[in-house]
Every structure is written in structure tokens, then in C-alpha cells.
Structure 1
Amino acid sequence: MGDQDLPGVLVSGFEGPSGICKDHVGELQKYFNLITVQDLLENKTQVGPKIQAVYIWNRKPAIDQELLQSLPALKIVANAGAGLDHLDLKLIASFGVKVANTPQAVSSPTADMGMALLLAAARRVVEGHQLATSPDTKNFSTNWLGQEVTGSTLGIIGMGSIGYKVAQRARAFEMNILYHNRKRRKSEEEEAVGATYCERLDDLLQRSDFVMLAMSLTPQTQRLIGRRELRLMKPTAILVNIGRGLLVDQDALVEALQTGVIGAAALDVSYPEPLPRDHPLLKLKNVTLTPHIGSATHQARWQMMENLIGSILASLNGLPIPNEVLLK
């Protein structure tokens, strides 16, 4: 624990893959007394009442009823990132606690990652690297081919801030852009990126050369892409997922990739994460996998931290909370 005169903020810890970013600790300690989960577990009676905010980094610490009951002074749960599927928002609200996240900080780097995966899968970059560096390679075949990106059709499922930034980038590649969203965008927003709305998801799947998932995980979107949806896609189509692994029926995806129902997949997310080391997705040449790094840039992570500080301070001072998450 740090300066006892500063507001207490619960963090997962300072070490390991779930710990907060070491580069951020000094900045956070200017404003808060950082209290780890271990500190709390060792002395709930004394430490619990000091905690006014929970700082969630890499989905940790987990928020459950027992934790909420042990923090009588808690005012806000500040979550790094845009996704909220790991939080029970109704439970948190029932304790009179606010929630904030950092959607603006993650939208541009995640859109960049979506395009990187699309390009890598289309041009078989990972396979090409392996071929170029293999000690067994004697020559390069002129008939080793990928898919053209320029002029192709991209279907974006989920046209929020990330999906829209993907569309902006795709337009520079002269792609034809389709999108499916819970709510249609304004006509001027569509025109700005040359996007066409598909009210029916099936239409988008049938027409797209690339399908990109850029939506939140909810009970309604879980396994949105299953065996039926994959069979609607072109046999040359490439599925890109920068949302959450559970948006896709993973068993159906493996089958589709193994049998040529679709051409390839590029995934920044899976379930679980990481996949078991014997998972079939790890053995397929037509799969590009990255370790959930959509927002993993120095700049984005620093902005996320700054946004969380701002939201916590606003909450503690009774001011409007930037990026407050409201129950729908």
C-alpha cells in the first residue's frame, strides 16, 4: 500500500500477467493509494473500508458479490477496455456503484489490428514467413498465391466505434463495405466511408469476401457465427474476429476451415485464451492467430490508464463520469 492519505483503489497486483502495467504504477500513485487484492485478503476489516474504486486491468480483479460486500465505501468500478462481458453490471449497480470503461482509447489500435489480420490472412503472411525462413526451402514458386484485398468486399458485423474505424481504413484499400448492426448508422456516416447497410446478416455473409467481427459479446451475440452462417459464406471467404472468441462457434469454425467451407480465419480472440496447446485451430495452415492484442500499444494502454484516472477522480468528486457505462 502507498500514501494512506490518498483515495484507496483496489488493483489486482503488480506482478504476473494479470498485474497492472508496471510503467503506469508511478502515475497512478500520484492520485491513489494502490491496494492489492492480496492486501485486502490479508486484512479485509481494516483495508476494505478504505477502497473507493476498483481498477480493472486485464479483466482483473474479478467482481463478485462477496467482493462488493467487503467494500462499503466503493463508488466506481473502472474497467480498462471496451468489452464488459466479464462484469455483472446489474449486480454492481445494485450496490450503488458506477462503472466506467475506455472505448475511445481502444478503437483505433483495434481497428488497425483488424486490418493487419485481414491483410495477413489474405496475403498468407505467416505462411510466407515460414516458407521464406525454412531451411528446407530451395526456391519460391510463382504460383504460391493469396487473395486480392483491393476492390474486394468487406462485411463488418458491429459498426460501433471500432467497426467504423475499420471501414475508414478499408476505404483506403478501395474495398466495397457492407455492414450489419443493431442500429443503422446515419446516412452521412455511411456516405463518408461508402458503407452499405445490410439489415439481414445473411445478405452480408453471402456477399462478402472478408467478414470482420467487431462487436461486443452479449447473450444475444454469443455464437452469432455458427455452422449455418459459415455455410452462407463464400468458399474463398476469410473470417476476421477482433471482438470476442465466443462470438463464433469454434467447433463449427474448425470444421469449416478443415473442409473448405470458408477459405481462412484470422483471430485475435478465442475461447479459452490461450487455447489448449493441442487445439485443432493451432494446427491449421489457413488460420492466423494473435494473443488478444487489439489494444496492445504503448500509446493506447497509457491513454486507457489516463481515462481510468479521470473517471475515478470524477466519481470521487461527485462530477459527471467520463465514459460512464449506463444500464440499458
Structure 2
Amino acid sequence: MKDEEKQQSASRESRGVRSKVRQWSRKSWFWPAVYLSACAVLLGAYFLIQSPAGTDQAEEDQPFGDEQEWNNASENPGTGEKESVPTAAEDETIQMPVMDEESVDIIGYYYDHDAAAEEQQDALVYYNNMYYQNKGIDIAANDGETFEVTAAATGEVVKAEKDDVLGYVVDVKHPNDIVTSYNSLEDLKVEEGDTITQGSVIGSAGRNVYNSDAGVHAHFEIRMNGEPLNPSDAFHQKLKDVKQPEDGNKESAKEEDTNDEANEEEESSLDEFPIFDGDDEEETDEEETDESDSSDEQDDSAKEEEEE
């Protein structure tokens, strides 16, 4: 009996609840309230689930130290655009593009217009039956084997391609309008658009057609506003402290070609017009004097014959 009474009371309660729900459902505010309540529950559950994981993920993704400074400097807060190189990199010092400076030698030197003639001669590259001024330095390992070429400073790779004459070529852009260039590489470890840090491996030293006499080597250049600089003078200087020379070193490639053509013309003119020494000049003057005297005598004799 008790069980039957409990079942009957439960059925009456359920019928009462259903009847109340039916009554409420007939009200105009009922269904909007149900929808809003359901949305609130779903949104609350979503934020409750996502918030702890999202916080942990944000903490994991948050960079530290130099990496954080790099990211902050790379993004322009005004426009949201990313700059190619961080401002913090200006404080970096330019390093020789090798892992171990003690294991390599400089075998080709930068052509300095103010250097002595012998030094300038050592800074010429012979290619295709012509001599060219070396715009950088050539580095080779002490044992003559290949070696890893590294970034001299932090920057953005703006060029990474293979050249039939120079081998693989990589250009890296830095602050202060400075570009470091690497060629005579046998392979590439970077791609155009990559942002690399100082000491990152760019490729391996190899051979090229342009300077075949150098053997296995890496060619390294530093340019500022498109003008070549002496890498040996720029090593161990901060990027922001590097200055362009104020002398004749800032010559363009066109001027160099013009000078080469002028030198060729001078050489050809020397062949056409030989230079005599002092004794030869005296002998020539004496011959000219004798010829003039003989011509005068012939003129005098001709006049005497006409008078007779």
C-alpha cells in the first residue's frame, strides 16, 4: 500500500509539474527566457573549460629575454606591420662569418683605392681574361676543406639563389641600411624571407667560376647604401657604428669599368707610340738635325743651278 501511495503521489507531482510547464509555455516570455538561459549556460561552460588551458598556452607561448625583445621590436605598434629587422640588432657587433676564426685564413683582400700598389695587385680577381677589383674578402679553411659559413649579424634573408658564376648567393639585410653578402657556397641552409640570428649557418664554402684560383672558399661582402665597405674594418664594430668611407673607396661598378677601359686604351697607345729613353732621344735629335742640314744643302744647290 505504501508503495502504491508513493507512486500515486509521484505521478500526481509529475502531472502537476507538466501542467505548470504547459501553463508557462503559453506565456509570451517563456521561450525567450529558455533560449537565453541555455545560451548563458553554454557560454559559461565554454569559458570555464577554455580559460585555464588558454592561460597555460599563453604562458608557454610567451617569449623570454632576447626573443621577447626581438618580437616587440619587430612589430610596429602604430600600423601592426612587421619590420624586416629589429632595432635591438643595431647593438650587435659584426663577426667574421665562420664558426671558428682560428681555423680559417683570409686569402683574398678588399680592393682599397688608397692602398699601396702591391696591396691593390693582391686584391684583384682574374676572370674571363680580365682583372676585377675585389669588393669583399675571400675566406678559406687552413686545411683547404669546406667549412660552415655563418651569419655575420642578425637580419632578414633578402636573396638566396644559385648563380652560374658565383655559386650559391645569400644576401642578408640589417639595420643602418647594411647588407652582408655571401657567395661561393656549395649549398644553402636558408631561404629568402627567413629571419636569421647571428651565427646561424647559411651554407657551406665551395668553389665558383668567378674566382676559381681561390679553390674552396667563401666570399664575403659588406655594403652600406649599396656601396661596398672593407669587411676587415667592419669586423667587431656595432652595426649602428659602421660608417661609409669619405674617400675614394666609394666608387661604383660603372666607374670601375670605365677605368678598366681607360687602362686598356693607355696600354694600346703605349704599343703604338713607344717610349724612348734619354740616349734614344739624343740620337733622334741628331738624326733630325742631319736630315735638316742635308735638306738645306740640297735647297742651296738647287738654287745655284737655277741661277746658272
TM over 0.5: no
TM-score (norm 1): 0.22
Q: Scaled by the length of structure 2, what TM-score is found?
A: 0.23
Q: Per residue, is there more strand in 1 or in 2?
A: 2
Q: 1 or 2, which has the higher helix percentage?
A: 2
Larger Rg: 2
* Higher normalized contact order (CA 8 Å, seq sep 6+, divided by chain length): 1
